[in-house]
Structure 1
């Protein structure tokens, strides 16, 4: 197996960051659902923060995928 180059390592680091953000966001959001009673106004903040984190992860994942589609020379 060959060692990945600098650009490949950057993509791997970015993909790991996305995975961590998704996992931590899901755990925190589920924990907030369990701890805070439904209908509480603060729950809306947790919902919006989770949506923002998931949207960020989606955008970064799309960027990683697009970079993988480029020819190797670019």
Structure 2
């Protein structure tokens, strides 16, 4: 693996890492909160709230990954 010396490359790598972390954390929280909500009998509207929050996080990560991919082209 070549060393990254370009500051723009480092910035893009940091953005890609952040997007990956957001995807992983969102998935764990989404599944975990859905499971906890089912076990505790929370109102279904909270499930929709978790779903929409997860969709927003996934969309944000998709946009960031797409921008990084386009810059590297």
Query: Given the two structures, how large is their TM-score scaled by the length of structure 1?
Result: 0.85
Q: Which runs of 5+ in 2 are unaligned?
A: none
Structural RMSD (CA)? 1.4
Instruction: Determine if contact 2:4/2:10 at 8 Å carries over to the other structure.
Output: no
Runs of 4+ that moved beyond 3 A:
none
1:40 to 36, 44, 53: 44
Aligned length: 69
Q: Which residue of 2 aligns with 1:20?
A: 21
Q: Which residue of 2 aligns with 1:58?
A: 62
- In structure 2, what is the Cα distance between the partners aligned to 1:68 and 1:26? 27
Query: Given the two structures, how large is their TM-score scaled by the length of structure 2?
Result: 0.86
The structure with the greater share of residues assigned to helix is: 2
